[in-house]
Amino acid sequence: MSTEALKPYLDTVSLDEAYGSSPAALCLVDRQMRCIAANEGLAQSLGRPLAELVGAAIGDVLPAAIPLLERGFRRVDRGEALTARRLIELPGTGRTFRVKAHPYRDADGAIVALSCAMLDVTEEQAAIKALQDMEQLCNFALQSARQWIWEYNLGSGVIWRSPHWKLVLGYELNEAVAGAENVAWGIVHPEDRRQVQARFDKLIRGEADQFEAIYRVRHKNGRWLWILSRGKVVENDSGQDAPLRVIATSVDISHQKQIEEELSATVRQREALESELIEANRRLTALSEIDPLTELPNRRKLDQVLALELRRRERNGSSLALLMIDVDHFKDFNDLYGHPEGDECLRLLAGALRSNARRSSDMVARYGGEEFVAVLAETGEAEAVTVAENMLAAVRALKLPHAGSSFNLVSISIGVAVLGPEMRSPATSLNALVRAADNALYAAKQGGRNAIAIAPTQEGAAMRLLPRSERSAPATVDPPPADGQMP
């Protein structure tokens, strides 16, 4: 079916409206590999106007998706479901997207197109790569230290060991070790089992915080290795307060057994390595949630906090305020003073904004570019406006010169949106709250910048623009244009 033939059906189901309301990057591709519908999310991802995408050949706008689409059409023609999610990279952007396609049927039920959703997973893939690198480092460390990890399930009596134990004992990874694969003490020298079991029982009875034992294990070549094992209870039965799982590490100390001094050094090195790995993982987690320029929480962290605060608000019936903050004429600032000065300006503004969100539950995050967001939990409109006014004053107090601004100083505009405890409707969703704050920010920009605008809390109410000199008799402003562009 041609694109023209599809158009009446598309109008019937209001596909354009559905696509336009979605935050994901979406497109509809017909069998001639043409994009017959798309949304702003896709246009922004590709860095092209939406008008250029609709009707364009996929090979011209998204060539990396052609193999996926061709396979998708073949599968649906064979009656197979499209369940796989594929990763594609957009050339020249450094961004990675996960693509999922669904068959799109006409009024007669015939599959005439594929509806594709693209999700930017660049940060997710980077995190996965970092975790894989960390896992590789851990494996290398364990193998180099002739060490392995084991877990003992007390309920089933089954033990799991990381594969490194076989390497230490001279076996291949796929080589069976008779009587020792899943038996707790099967690899322990018969003369050592009693004292090892006794030490382990002390841990289970709660008489010791840590299990520690030195025992012998037979190498494949027949000689006995000295092994040091240490472990702790990591899970208890909440009902009976009885241990369920123990996790431990075992290390070959045969050489150190002969030289006690070297043994002490090896144990310290192992503990230091474990500590460094834990610290590296902690830093990795922290870095993934922090904007490196301003050292504020980034968009990823913001989304997590916003979702958490919205759920908390629903439970507690409290207020939640969101401040959308934008630096006025920042592009002109960069053009006049250069990007290094622009970066320093953002760092100073971040500090000023953060200093005015003083409660432990308040958070200021970098939203992107020159935009910031403040999340104020359990905060009503009056308190939110006070914080916004303090932020405006703090930025003005920096007295950062800006020849491209009518104020001759760097200034900010703030849009305020508040969800009161009485508000219980779809308008209280995360997207609606962000949209309301963004519209208020637009109003502040339209009202002359260096200003605060408050989003209406009731349907049909007007946007309010606070005068700079006083807070009485708030002005009203026009709603933002449909394209959402800032003045």
Domain ranges of the chain: 3-120, 128-287, 299-476
Percent of the chain's residues with pLDDT above 70? 83
Question: Which of 16-20, 113-117, 187-191, 292-296 has the least mean pLDDT?
Answer: 16-20
How far apart (Å, rounded) are the C-alpha atoms in residues 47 and 40?
A: 10
The mean pLDDT of 283-299, rounded to a whole number, is 85
Q: So what's the pLDDT on residue 347?
A: 95
How far apart (Å, rounded) are the C-alpha atoms in residues 73 and 187?
A: 55
The mean pLDDT of 335-349, rounded to a whole number, is 94
The pTM (predicted TM-score) of the whole model is: 0.43
Q: So what's the pLDDT on residue 475?
A: 40
Using pLDDT thresholds of 50, 70 and 90, give the confidence band for residue 402.
very high
More confident residue, 465 or 238: 465
How far apart (Å, rounded) are the C-alpha atoms in residues 122 and 95?
A: 5
Same fold, 3-120 and 128-287: yes
Q: So what's the pLDDT on residue 239?
A: 65
Nearest to 291 by CA among 361, 338, 349: 349
CATH architecture for segment(s) 299-476: 2-Layer Sandwich (3.30)
More confident residue, 55 or 272: 55
Is 3-120 a CATH 3.30.70.20 domain? no
Q: What is the DSSP letter of 63?
A: G
Cα angle: 355, vertex 359, 364; to 5 degrees: 55
Q: So what's the pLDDT on residue 98?
A: 83
CATH superfamily placement of domain 128-287: PAS domain (3.30.450.20)
Q: So what's the pLDDT on residue 99?
A: 85
pLDDT in tens, 347-377: 999 999 999 987 888 999 999 899 999 999 9
Write the DSSP assignment of 214-240 as a string of letters.
Answer: EEEEE-TTSPEEEEEEEEEEEEEETTT
Using pLDDT thresholds of 50, 70 and 90, give the confidence band for residue 92.
low
pLDDT in tens, 132-164: 777 666 666 556 656 778 788 887 888 888 777
pLDDT of residue 485 exceeding 60, the answer is no
Q: So what's the pLDDT on residue 400?
A: 95
Q: So what's the pLDDT on residue 288?
A: 81
How far apart (Å, rounded) are the C-alpha atoms in residues 280 and 262?
A: 26
pLDDT of residue 297 exceeding 60, the answer is yes
The mean pLDDT of 15-32, rounded to a whole number, is 75
Q: So what's the pLDDT on residue 440?
A: 95
The mean pLDDT of 333-357, rounded to a whole number, is 94
Q: So what's the pLDDT on residue 178?
A: 65
The mean pLDDT of 87-114, rounded to a whole number, is 83
Percent of the chain's residues with pLDDT above 90? 29
Q: So what's the pLDDT on residue 15?
A: 58
| Beta-strand pair 452-454/412-419 | parallel
Asked whether the beta carbons of 113 and 28 are under 8 A apart, the reply is yes
